[in-house]
C-alpha cells in the first residue's frame, strides 16, 4: 500500500501538533511538512507535491509577521494555486468557519473535503 504524503498548514501550533500527533501513529501516512502561513504553503507544496494538504483558512500570508492589511492570506486563491501547481494533491480544509458561503466557496474552488 502506498504511503499518503501529507502537509499540515495551520498557524496555531497546538492544532498543528495535535494533527501531527494523530496522524503520526498511522503507518500509511507520512507528514512531509507543516507550516502556518501562505508563504510556507507555497514552499512546501512546490518542494513535496503532497497527496493531501490539510489547510486552515485563517492564517497570515507571511510567517513570523503580524496579521494586518499587508499580511492577509487569501485561501481561495491558494486553493486554485495548489490545484494548478500540484493537480494530484487533494485539499482538505480544516476550519472553524462553517458558514454556508465559506463552505460553498471552498467547494467551488475545488477542495475535496471540509472539516
Question: Given a cut of 90, is residue 76 above it in pLDDT?
Answer: yes
% of the chain residues with pLDDT over 70: 93
At 58, is the secondary structure helix, strand, or coil? coil
CATH of the domain at 65: 3.40.50.2300
pTM strictly above 0.85: yes
β-strand 52-55 against 113-114: which pairing, if any?
Answer: unpaired
Angle at 44 between CA 8 and CA 32, to 5 degrees: 55
Number of compact structural domains in the chain: 1
pLDDT of residue 34: 97
- For the chain, give the number of residues: 115
Question: Given a cut of 70, is residue 96 above it in pLDDT?
Answer: yes
* Boundaries of domain holding 77: 4-114
Place 97 in a pLDDT band, splitting at 50, 70 and 90.
Answer: confident
Give the DSSP H or E segment for 106.
Answer: helix 100-109
Task: Read off the pLDDT of residues 46-62 as tens digits, 9 standing for 90 and up.
Answer: 999 999 999 999 998 88
Averaged over 27-38, what is the pLDDT?
96
pLDDT, the chain, mean: 92
Amino acid at each position: 500500500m502506498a504511503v499518503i504524503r501529507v502537509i499540515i498548514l495551520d498557524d496555531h501550533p497546538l492544532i498543528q501538533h495535535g494533527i501531527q500527533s494523530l496522524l503520526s501513529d498511522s503507518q500509511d501516512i507520512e507528514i512531509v511538512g507543516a507550516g502556518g502561513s501562505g508563504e510556507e504553503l507555497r514552499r512546501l507544496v512546490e518542494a513535496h507535491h503532497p497527496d493531501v494538504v490539510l489547510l486552515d483558512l485563517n492564517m497570515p500570508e507571511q510567517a513570523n509577521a503580524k496579521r494586518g492589511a499587508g499580511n492577509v492570506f487569501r485561501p481561495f486563491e491558494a486553493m486554485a494555486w495548489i490545484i494548478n501547481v500540484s493537480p494530484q494533491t487533494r485539499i482538505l480544509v480544516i476550519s472553524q468557519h462553517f458558514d454556508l458561503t465559506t463552505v460553498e466557496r471552498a467547494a467551488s474552488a475545488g477542495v475535496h473535503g471540509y472539516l
